[in-house]
């Protein structure tokens, strides 16, 4: 039987289970484009429960232990003395989330001779060194589309929060003030802005569709141009490269995967080519930007605001400069971990495990690496040439 090592974020400080705000969540049966939601043989949880923390266990314990497997769940993931390092050498399956990633570097993979499956509960497997996984014959899979709409909604929220100067305005209320002039001195209407999306995949297209009713001018860049009918429907302006896009818009919204071509893409040179007073929203990966160049651009006024919920590493140090830089609207990595999304990615995690233990094919759309090569979604989203992801650091 197998050891499954599952790394999840810590429980709420107020204890587990929490008092839920609602008694149920809507039932979603499919995604735009026709992909169906995860379909495991059974669920070990009630949709709407908090599953992504240690006590939630993704609802997997009863299922796995009934099959004779060992499940180890921990939030202790960093450093040579962590619980993750302790259990890694004899783990056959490692499960992690993008929000609290267990970084599977080449060094860690070398310490895990039994490892066969690295599974992301959610979307984004760049915390795994994909090159090392390919060489070791490890299958890498994730629950594609499970939280794409969740992230798209979060990105739209952060765009509005920045442009409307929402958070400082709210803080005046919390502090007992009524300082309208201070609130509106950096507040604008989104209407009429040029908004550019980098990477018009599932999340990027969902953002485009949600922004269209705001009467903005929509731009996008992607390595694969969208069909002409989609461009006409949403009145999109296509840009052949990132440089062309960022110099033409007021808001840049990033949804690209992290790979060698996007690593540190937003450096001082690119940021300084943007319109003064532009905004960046990044719910993709922090390392697409240069950390300190973002801070400098906010301090000089080249950027009017930066928002995102992705950091590097995760969690960031208490003195990470993005915590205290001006004109930010940062969140912990929560955009894809709503209770609604958790129901889908926990179900997808179980579906992948069921297929794996039954020696059945894992859905192609869930695959990132298989058979010693990029596969499925991974072949369309990543490159593997020695610097595939932060997992390599």
* Active-site option among 285, 327, 350, 363: 285
Distance CA 165, CA 279 (A): 12
Is 147 marked active-site?
A: yes
* Active-site option among 333, 344, 350, 363: 333
DSSP characters over 298-364: HHHTSEEEEEES--SSSSPPTT-GGGT-TTB----S-TT-SHHHHHHHHHHHHHHHHHHHTTPPPPG
Q: Which one, of 11, 3, 7, lies nearest residue 96 by Cα?
A: 7
* Active-site option among 87, 97, 147, 202: 147
Is 291 marked active-site?
A: no
Is 285 marked active-site?
A: yes
49-52's contacts with Cβ under 8 Å and 24+ in sequence apart are 49/17, 49/20, 49/339, 49/342, 49/343, 50/12, 50/16, 50/17, 50/18, 50/20, 50/339, 50/342, 51/342, 51/343, 51/346, 52/8, 52/9, 52/97, 52/99, 52/121, 52/337, 52/342, 52/345, 52/346
* Active-site option among 165, 302, 314, 342: 314
Is 333 marked active-site?
A: yes
| Residues with active-site annotation | 147, 285, 314, 333
């Amino acid at each position: 039987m197998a050891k499954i090592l599952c790394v999840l974020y810590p429980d709420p400080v107020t204890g587990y289970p929490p008092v839920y705000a609602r008694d149920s969540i809507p039932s979603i049966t499919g995604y735009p484009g026709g992909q169906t939601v995860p379909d495991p043989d059974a669920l070990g949880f009630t949709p709407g429960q908090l599953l992504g923390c240690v006590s939630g266990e993704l609802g997997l314990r009863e299922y796995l232990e009934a099959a004779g497997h060992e499940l180890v769940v921990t939030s202790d993931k960093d450093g040579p003395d962590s619980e993750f390092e302790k259990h890694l050498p004899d783990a056959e399956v490692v499960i992690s989330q993008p929000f609290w990633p267990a970084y599977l570097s080449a060094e860690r993979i070398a310490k895990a001779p039994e490892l066969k499956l690295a599974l992301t509960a959610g979307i984004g497997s760049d915390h795994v060194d994909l090159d090392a996984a390919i060489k070791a014959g490890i299958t890498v899979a994730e629950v594609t589309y499970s939280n794409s709409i969740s992230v798209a909604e979060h990105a739209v929220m952060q765009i509005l929060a920045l442009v409307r100067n929402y958070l400082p305005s709210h803080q005046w209320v919390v502090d007992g003030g009524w300082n309208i002039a201070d609130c509106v001195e950096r507040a604008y209407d989104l209407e009429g802005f040029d908004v550019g999306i980098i990477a018009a995949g599932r999340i990027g297209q969902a953002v485009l569709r949600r922004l269209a009713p705001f009467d903005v001018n929509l731009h996008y860049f992607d390595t694969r141009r969208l069909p002409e009918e989609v461009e006409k429907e949403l009145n999109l302006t296509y840009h052949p490269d990132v440089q062309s896009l960022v110099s033409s818009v007021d808001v840049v919204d990033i949804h690209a995967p992290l790979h060698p071509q996007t690593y540190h893409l937003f450096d001082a040179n690119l940021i300084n080519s943007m319109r003064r007073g532009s905004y960046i929203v990044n719910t993709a990966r922090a390392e697409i930007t240069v950390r300190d160049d973002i801070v400098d651009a906010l301090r000089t006024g080249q950027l009017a605001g930066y928002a995102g919920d992705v950091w590097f590493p995760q969690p960031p140090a208490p003195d990470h400069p993005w915590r205290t830089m001006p004109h930010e609207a940062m969140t912990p990595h929560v955009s894809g971990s709503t209770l609604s999304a958790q129901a889908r990615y926990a179900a997808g995690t179980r579906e992948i495990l069921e297929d794996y233990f039954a020696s059945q094919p894992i859905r192609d759309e869930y695959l990132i690496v298989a058979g010693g090569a990029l596969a499925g979604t991974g072949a369309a989203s990543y490159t593997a040439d020695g610097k595939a992801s932060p997992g390599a650091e």
